[in-house]
Structure 1
Amino acid sequence: MTTILFELGCEELPPKSLKPLRDALQSSVESQLKEAEISYDSLKAFAAPRRLAIQIEGIADKQPDRSEQKRGPAIKAAYDAEGKPTRAAEGFAKGLGIDVSELMTIETDKGDYIGYEQKISGQPVTELLPAIFQTALDKLPIAKRMRSGASREEFVRPVQWLVLMQDDQVIDAQVQGLQSGNQTRGHRFHAPDFMTIPQASDYESLLADAKVIADFDKRQALISERVAALASEVNASAIVPQALLDEVTALVDLPVALRASFEERFLQVPQEALISTMQADQKYFCLTDSDGKLQPYFIFISNIESKDPQQVISGNEKVVRPRLADAEFFFLQDQKQPLFTLTENLKNRVFQDQLGTIWEKSERVAKLTAFIASQLKGEAENNPSPSLATFKDIDIEQATRAAILSKADLASTLVGEFPELQGVAGTYYARLNGEPEAVAAAIEEQYLPKFSGDVLPKTAVGICLALADRIDTLVGIFGIDQAPTGSKDPFSLRRSAIGVLRILIEKQLPINLIGLVEQAVRNYNADGANKVVKMGDTFTQVIDFMNSRYRAMYTEQGVSVDTIQAVLAINPHMPLDFDQRIRAVSGFRALPQAATLAEINKRVANILAKSDGEVAEQVDATLLTEAAEQSLNTAVNTAKETVAPLQATADYAQILQALITLEAPLTDFFDHVMVNAEDAALKANRLALLKQVRELFLTVADIGELQI
């Protein structure tokens, strides 16, 4: 049981790829060792700017010996009538390099065959490892590989050295075109020369002495700790996005955290612009106070231990100042004209060739926003639900104004320089122009949620605008036959659809999608519009597309596919209602009676589907001749009375709880009653009874879709 060390030394690896490369290398080596049946105690992967490494502790010296059974021709073909081996048997034995007398009989269900049990000795691990590491490197997720000099080998960056050791011995091999050795390099500036690794187990400590923290996670934890400590010294908190933390960790061998500052005058600029440029361009960690307000400090991670840290700090302050000054200039430049004036520029900016300009989109969105606001205002006046309270006082004119201004900042110089600030910049400018707070807040909120799990808009106008903007895009793009295909979704329609569903469900808004989509189509066909979107196919395609998003959304939450299918089967058009049904069916399927009722519902659906002609709506009690069908009829009528008030309040969980009582009478009915009786009247009456059973369950979902 020994220690193996593998290290591939390179020029600086792509920082955004370093962590995925480490994880992929580790995963591949682990799976190959398992496949080769090589045991080991532990395996650790290292990743630093100039190296990828694997250290395996307690690895076996060789594979275990194994037996492998070779099967040849059938006994009948292997021996003649006198029991002598045929050419088939002799050829099989010769191919294995053995005598016919060494063959054995293998008994199977399909007959007896000749065979041989071959003993295979395990290979030494040192012979297997070079190929294992090369295969792992070949499988790394590298988008574009490169060649270095005259070498034919390809990798993400030029490779410079290779370490492959077993304890204190070099394993003689070639990987990635390099000859293995026992020499590595430390920090590029603090310890640039080659140094010998005496023992494979000394790897991490040796590099630590050479100013390299090879363990990615250890380096990251150190950065997080030092950033938090420096931030607390000025009573602030650091903004540390995980992606930025990963990238910074991948940029340094020896993280040295330093805090710098910038002029307070820059704080008048939208802090999102300052944070964006410091994070994206400089890889800095910005600091905020307890209220989330940006402070005039930033923390950066240096890769050297400078003898004069203040010089390093001053250098970074000088570098960041022009970038902040640019953001300040754009911000002040935009304020020379009101936000509404910028909308004039949108009349020359194309949203989509066939769908017109961004200004035309803004006009359509304004109409749809007003339509949604009016609907929700009406619902709020008639419904005391807490989720609708915020819409009772919604100002329709403000909703329209917010929509008209919603895309104005796309014409601003600040968004031109920082595209990620669209919406944010508009909100700042709207407030500076004295627009109502409801209008200003909605301009930023229109883009929420931006990604899976993101926050939703909070204000009434923001919610209406966010819904209108997405639905207008969905209807327009489907209307010109540009629906997403495969992985291609240039207008992010899938994300838009899920955004609409999330807002309607999580904000508990009782809005029917049919009305919204129809209104959006009408807006495209209003007087003066280009009228390229037609109602028929567009409406159907958008509704079908929205329905298809339920599956993606709920499976991510852990809801089973058959539960989603059961609700989709009855095609509810109100997302909030769809969600309530999903929750009810999810609870129902956990009950002990669920499996039986699901099977019976499937059976009932099949019987009704095969019936000739229309099935009657009413049951004739005088034709119920069997005790089992009489009991079922009584149970159905009782269930109807129980379900009616529950249906009015959409209490689907209680409806299904009430329908559980039908399990016993339904089971008894199918055990003792022949539905397809010879008497046509009896048959028709029994079908009518089953139809009522079916309709009771369909008030919630098609329970027959459940696979329990």
Structure 2
Amino acid sequence: MTNLSGTLLIEFLTEELPPINLEQNIGSPFAESIREQIAGFLNDDSSLKVIVAPRRFGCVINGVNSIQKDQTLLRKGPAISMGLKDGNPQPALLGFAKSCGTDWQNLEQRDDGYFYFTSLVKGKSLDEVLPETILNGLKKVQIAKGMRWGDNDFTFVRPVHGLTVMFNDKVIDCAALGVKSHNETSGHRFMSKESVVFADANEYFTKLEASGKVIAEFNARKKLISEGLTTKASELGFTISPIDGLIDEVTALVEWPEILVGEFDKKFLNVPQECLILSMAKNQKYFALLDNNGKLTNKFLFVSNLISKDPQVIIEGNQKVLSARLADAEFFFEFDKRTPLKEFVSKMAKVVYHNKLGSQLERIERLQQIAAKIAEKFEFLKVKPIDANNTARLLKADLATEMVGEFPELQGIMGKYYAEFNGETQEVANAIEKHYYPRFSGDNLPDSNLAIVVSLADKLETLVGIWGIGLIPTGDKDPYALRRAALGIVRILLKHKIDLKSLLEITFDAFKDKNFTSKIIAELYEFILQRAENYLTSVGGYSTPIVRAALKSLSYQFERDDLGIDKSLTRLDKLLPYLSDLGQDTKAIELIQANKRIKNILEKNASNFVGEYDSKLTNNLPETELANFLFGVKQDMAIDGNYQEYFDKLLEAGPILAAFFENVMVMDENSDIKNNRLALLQAAQVRFNYICNFAELS
């Protein structure tokens, strides 16, 4: 059989596919699965193009061979010592040889002490493997809900009407989802009446585009749309208001994109622009246009799925539909304004937050208490507790409004507008919106101290409440977004000198009626520090040992309120760059190794000693020198944030510790001396862990 090299085409023709995440859920999983399964047929320079359009999905792979590469299979058998006894084969060896279809003498004995069997498997033909390969590829398609059609007993996301499978100029015989393979497909539903027949798989994209008026490759269509929108907006002197995922969704809705311009009545511009932008994007898949000042204009762009002889008809039709949508938004806005924002709060008593945590009103009352206590505790923020309390009461009020009921994405934003309308100060209105910030890793932080206080209160209330009832995130499951809340707290605390433990204690007190166990404070402290580690390594670019060393010292200080040290995350701003350079210092390496040894000794004897170090119990010079050094270290340097000076002093401990371990038996037969030396090592660990856990740097 001659081995040919060429192009493989697979295309399923369907009814309109669901547009949201079409490429991620259907196109790419299927295409990538096909490529992985036929890896043995591919040349080194093979390439994959994904077919994803409203009515089709599949792939075109270049550099495919018609015959699979031969494979050498190696099977490992029993140990030689078990397989042979005095030169005679044992049952284990005979059984292995039989399973390989050969005599035991044909097996290979290798230097690692085992028998092996090597076999050559001839490559299969593409025709032979492709039917099963396609079926396996379909299993990778992510379908939320399948459907049946006709008399079929299988399900798929949408009915399938055709299957095109070709290798070069040959149709490969196979069937799937109730259809058999051939060399033709349908083009655009409105712009192409005849079937598109392919003489060769290579001409799929060009012929489908020329004759079928379909741009089948998702990324090519997306690029065309993106560039067309940008060009058209620029011609009008505007910019497009960005909406996450909208271009992808529109790309999944059209096969032949045409950019058109529409406009709406300027009276709708009295409605907050976020409402109009979201209504256009969510309901109609339109792109709002902003002027040079970022203000919404009454013009918009949309993507038509065909070229019309009279595009004005299409434009007017879309404008009419949009006008009705914007009228709805206008109604919601005017209706909500009839009720003062404060009156929406009482309605929250009827809205369940969680059956174990009460109503949204109970949640609001906890937020008030937490926010007021944070303002009272951290006076440097200069937020009056009464202001924090009153603002917190309004944070969730807009959840009861018509606008947020229609567009949940506007919570906080509408609260700001309604607060402004009701005469609240700009600071309060801003805090209502910004209390949700930061919403994701790169998002802006709350931009006022009042907003910081209520933002922390909101995130802490969520964390302690949900954690307290046992709904702890596991694996990739985090339905209440506790990781996001923790990350938001981390990002705020990295910029503001606020003690995390105090925040958790304040929040815990707000749940006294829930009888939560106090251990959740320590659990959440570690959970939040883990988010800090992830953020500082992935975004900050610091190595994991460096970040872990700095954060472990905070864990150590959790139970040591007597240390008097700054336990806020803001100290990491100076500390992490210094630790990054520390690993190159030979003195630091000595100290790191010694500290790890101290850690191991103390962990092994954690329950065997108590008390403070007594200098009267030593007559050993290395021990005395270590004690004098440790108790001579001025911890005020660390407390004041003079990390460079403090570390420079600690680095002098390397040779002293080395002499101590070389000349002193810590585990002395005399229990008093042993415990005293353990106390000395504990004193050393305290000083090292003031700033970072040196053992993590090893």
TM band (smaller chain): 0.7 to 0.9
CA distance in 1, matches of 2:118, 2:506: 75
What SS class does the counterpart of residue 166 from structure 2 fall into?
strand
Cα drift, residue 471 of structure 1: 2.6
Cα drift, residue 31 of structure 1: 2.5
**Cα 1:263–1:73, aligned 2, differ >3 Å: closer, same or farther?**
closer
How many percent of aligned residue pairs carry the same amino acid? 37
1:549-628 alignment runs, 5 A limit: 549-558=528-537, 563-564=547-548, 566-567=552-553, 569-572=555-558, 574-576=567-569, 579=572, 583=576, 587=580, 590-593=583-586, 596-611=590-605, 612-614=608-610, 616-620=612-616, 623-626=619-622
Q: CA RMSD in A?
A: 3.4
CA distance in 1, matches of 2:691, 2:359: 44
The answer to whether the Cα contact below 8 Å between 1:40 and 1:59 also exists between their aligned partners in 2 is no
The answer to whether the Cα contact below 8 Å between 1:569 and 1:702 also exists between their aligned partners in 2 is no
Residue 529 of structure 1: aligned partner: none
**Are residues 1:425 and 2:446 paired?**
no
Give the gaps of 5 or more residues in structure 2: 560-566
**Cα 1:464–1:683, aligned 2, differ >3 Å: closer, same or farther?**
closer
Cα deviation code 1:482-525 (max 9, x no counterpart): 5556666554444333323322223x2x2233433443444455
Q: TM-score, normalized by length of structure 2?
A: 0.86
CA distance in 2, matches of 1:86, 1:625: 67
Aligned equivalent of 2:653, options 642, 659, 662: 662
Cα drift, residue 478 of structure 1: 4.7
Residue 273 of structure 1: aligned partner: 275
CA distance in 2, matches of 1:66, 1:185: 39
Aligned equivalent of 2:47, options 32, 42, 45: 42
**Are residues 1:31 and 2:12 paired?**
no
Cα drift, residue 235 of structure 1: 1.9
CA distance in 1, matches of 2:163, 2:126: 18
What SS class does the counterpart of residue 601 from structure 1 fall into?
helix
The answer to whether the Cα contact below 8 Å between 1:551 and 1:561 also exists between their aligned partners in 2 is no
Q: TM-score, normalized by length of structure 1?
A: 0.85
**Are residues 1:8 and 2:1 paired?**
no
The answer to whether the Cα contact below 8 Å between 2:76 and 2:114 also exists between their aligned partners in 1 is no
Cα drift, residue 202 of structure 1: 1.1
**Are residues 1:304 and 2:309 paired?**
no
Aligned equivalent of 1:513, options 492, 495, 500: 500
**Cα 1:241–1:618, aligned 2, differ >3 Å: closer, same or farther?**
farther
CA distance in 2, matches of 1:361, 1:254: 50
The answer to whether the Cα contact below 8 Å between 2:388 and 2:454 also exists between their aligned partners in 1 is yes
The amino acid of 2:580's aligned partner reads G
Residue 562 of structure 2: aligned partner: none
What SS class does the counterpart of residue 68 from structure 2 fall into?
coil
Aligned equivalent of 1:416, options 389, 398, 405: 405
Residue 548 of structure 1: aligned partner: 527
CA distance in 1, matches of 2:82, 2:353: 76
**Cα 1:135–1:491, aligned 2, differ >3 Å: closer, same or farther?**
closer
Cα deviation code 1:83-124 (max 9, x no counterpart): 8999998887776666x5x943522357575x7643332222
Cα drift, residue 215 of structure 1: 1.6
The answer to whether the Cα contact below 8 Å between 1:374 and 1:396 also exists between their aligned partners in 2 is yes
What SS class does the counterpart of residue 38 from structure 2 fall into?
helix
Residue 341 of structure 2: aligned partner: 339
Q: Which moved more, 1:206-215 or 1:669-678?
A: 669-678
**Cα 1:334–1:589, aligned 2, differ >3 Å: closer, same or farther?**
same
**Are residues 1:205 and 2:191 paired?**
no
Residue 129 of structure 2: aligned partner: 128
**Cα 1:556–1:44, aligned 2, differ >3 Å: closer, same or farther?**
farther
Residue 106 of structure 1: aligned partner: 108
Residue 464 of structure 1: aligned partner: 453
Give the gaps of 5 or more residues in structure 1: 380-390, 526-531
What SS class does the counterpart of residue 245 from structure 2 fall into?
helix
Cα drift, residue 441 of structure 1: 1.3
**Cα 1:580–1:320, aligned 2, differ >3 Å: closer, same or farther?**
same
CA distance in 2, matches of 1:145, 1:65: 39
Q: Which moved more, 1:210-219 or 1:451-460?
A: 451-460
**Cα 1:40–1:56, aligned 2, differ >3 Å: closer, same or farther?**
farther
**Are residues 1:178 and 2:179 paired?**
yes
Cα drift, residue 126 of structure 1: 3.4
**Cα 1:37–1:297, aligned 2, differ >3 Å: closer, same or farther?**
closer
CA distance in 2, matches of 1:590, 1:32: 46
CA distance in 2, matches of 1:75, 1:398: 81
What SS class does the counterpart of residue 53 from structure 1 fall into?
strand
1:170-319 alignment runs, 5 A limit: 170-209=171-210, 210-319=212-321
Aligned equivalent of 1:54, options 59, 63, 71: 59
CA distance in 2, matches of 1:181, 1:295: 50
**Are residues 1:694 and 2:688 paired?**
no
CA distance in 1, matches of 2:274, 2:342: 22
**Cα 1:155–1:364, aligned 2, differ >3 Å: closer, same or farther?**
closer
Residue 563 of structure 2: aligned partner: none
Cα drift, residue 320 of structure 1: 0.7
CA distance in 2, matches of 1:686, 1:36: 69
CA distance in 1, matches of 2:411, 2:107: 77
Cα deviation code 1:5-57 (max 9, x no counterpart): 22222112211132112222233233323367765522222211112222222
The answer to whether the Cα contact below 8 Å between 1:40 and 1:56 also exists between their aligned partners in 2 is no
**Cα 1:80–1:338, aligned 2, differ >3 Å: closer, same or farther?**
closer
1:445-464 alignment runs, 5 A limit: 445-464=434-453
CA distance in 2, matches of 1:74, 1:483: 47
**Cα 1:47–1:352, aligned 2, differ >3 Å: closer, same or farther?**
closer
CA distance in 2, matches of 1:70, 1:479: 53
CA distance in 1, matches of 2:315, 2:152: 41
Cα drift, residue 447 of structure 1: 1.9
Cα drift, residue 345 of structure 1: 2.8
CA distance in 2, matches of 1:79, 1:518: 69
Residue 385 of structure 1: aligned partner: none
What SS class does the counterpart of residue 456 from structure 1 fall into?
coil
Residue 665 of structure 2: aligned partner: 674
The answer to whether the Cα contact below 8 Å between 2:388 and 2:450 also exists between their aligned partners in 1 is yes
CA distance in 1, matches of 2:494, 2:94: 74
Cα drift, residue 570 of structure 1: 0.6
The amino acid of 2:693's aligned partner reads D
What SS class does the counterpart of residue 322 from structure 2 fall into?
helix
Cα drift, residue 244 of structure 1: 0.9
Q: Which moved more, 1:570-579 or 1:410-419?
A: 570-579
The answer to whether the Cα contact below 8 Å between 1:105 and 1:112 also exists between their aligned partners in 2 is no
What SS class does the counterpart of residue 442 from structure 2 fall into?
coil
**Cα 1:315–1:74, aligned 2, differ >3 Å: closer, same or farther?**
closer
CA distance in 1, matches of 2:535, 2:401: 38
What SS class does the counterpart of residue 347 from structure 2 fall into?
helix
What SS class does the counterpart of residue 147 from structure 1 fall into?
coil
Cα drift, residue 413 of structure 1: 2.5
Give the paired residue count: 675
**Cα 1:80–1:568, aligned 2, differ >3 Å: closer, same or farther?**
closer
The amino acid of 1:458's aligned partner reads D
CA distance in 1, matches of 2:576, 2:77: 58
Residue 139 of structure 1: aligned partner: 140
The amino acid of 1:14's aligned partner reads P
Cα deviation code 1:285-315 (max 9, x no counterpart): 1111222211111111110101111111100
The answer to whether the Cα contact below 8 Å between 2:486 and 2:531 also exists between their aligned partners in 1 is no
The amino acid of 2:308's aligned partner reads S
The answer to whether the Cα contact below 8 Å between 1:581 and 1:701 also exists between their aligned partners in 2 is no
Cα drift, residue 474 of structure 1: 3.6
The amino acid of 1:516's aligned partner reads L
